[in-house]
Amino acid sequence: MVLILSSVLKQIPYETQYLTVLFCFIILLLMLRITRRKKLNLPPSPPKVPIIGNLHQLGTLPHRSFHSLSLKYGPLMMLELGQFPTLVVSSADVAREIIKTHDVVFSNRPQPTAAKIFLYGCKDVGFAPYGEEWRQKKKTMVVELLSMKKVRSFRSLREEVVVELMEAIREACGSERACVNLSELLIASSNNIVSRCVLGRKCDDRIGQWWLWSAWKKEFETIFCFLCG
């Protein structure tokens, strides 16, 4: 195939060789997509354009464009938004069928490369495949980290830090300084809340905050590794 293409290119003027290669690439891409679609038995799809897919058919009001396309191609259609295949559901009955009847099939989230790199191969609660392992991790996270009882247990700490924040603002307003850096005060208060909830201590200087942040990071990584299995 490569030898045939090379011999054909030699007979074409140099100025049009790049256009010929691009044209052949587009034709090959279209043939591969048509073949793949026949094998996968995908839902109906509007005509696509190479590279951008169906993005040119969305317009400035995508929800109305989806509705117009659904009138022609049905309540369940396949669009390609750039290089990403997207299933568009435009019927309440079909959506109920997906969410309730076949919810297990559609429960998994896509696993992009970034999530695989930063989240230990997508083993965290957000990207892990649905199953018994995922249910156990979710249960542990909800009960041990995000339960209402756990959040309320730190209420006094949050209120204490907020009182200190108000006192710092009041003192700054009463001094001779012309302005108050609220961003710095709010960030320091947020750090103190997190540090006191996780480590039971706080610190006001930058070195101490850096140390607490490092310790908090190690604590969080320990919990995260536990949730990731």
Tell me the per-residue pLDDT of 5-30, one tens digit each, with 9 for 90 and over: 455 445 555 556 566 666 666 777 66
SS3 state of residue 108: coil
- Are 81 and 28 in a shared domain? yes
The percentage of the chain sitting over the pLDDT mark of 70, rounded to a whole number, equals 68
- Are 98 and 34 in a shared domain? yes
Question: Residue 121: inside a domain, yes or no?
Answer: no
Q: Of 90, 111, 132, which closes a domain?
A: 111
Strand partners, 79: 86
- Is the Cβ–Cβ distance between 45 and 73 less than 8 Å? yes
pLDDT tens digits, 200-229:
777 655 545 555 555 555 555 555 554 445
- Give the whole-angstrom CA distance, residue 136 versus residue 144: 12
- Nearest 10 degrees: Cα torsion 178, 183, 188, 193: 130
Residue 13 has a CB neighbour count (10 Å cut-off) of 7
Question: Residue 60: inside a domain, yes or no?
Answer: yes
Question: Residue 130: inside a domain, yes or no?
Answer: no
- Is the Cβ–Cβ distance between 142 and 227 less than 8 Å? no
- Are 7 and 107 in a shared domain? yes
- Are 103 and 163 in a shared domain? no
Q: How many domains are contained in the chain?
A: 2
Half-sphere exposure of 16 (CA within 13 A, CB side): 9
- Are 168 and 219 in a shared domain? yes
* Burial class of 169 by CB neighbour count within 10 A (0 to 12, 13 to 18, 19+): middle
The per-residue pLDDT for 207 is 46
Regions of the chain with pLDDT less than 70: 1-25, 29-40, 175-178, 198-199, 203-229
Q: Of 111, 135, 168, which closes a domain?
A: 111
- Are 77 and 162 in a shared domain? no
Question: Residue 162: inside a domain, yes or no?
Answer: yes
* Burial class of 77 by CB neighbour count within 10 A (0 to 12, 13 to 18, 19+): buried
Residue 188: give the domain boundaries.
154-228
Core vs surface per residue 35-54: b (16+ CB within 10 A) or e: eeeeeeeebebeebeeeebb
Question: Residue 218: inside a domain, yes or no?
Answer: yes
Which two tokens mark 140?
A: 């542990």
- Are 28 and 96 in a shared domain? yes
- Are 15 and 96 in a shared domain? yes
Strand partners, 53: 49, 81
- Are 183 and 106 in a shared domain? no
Its pTM stands at: 0.48
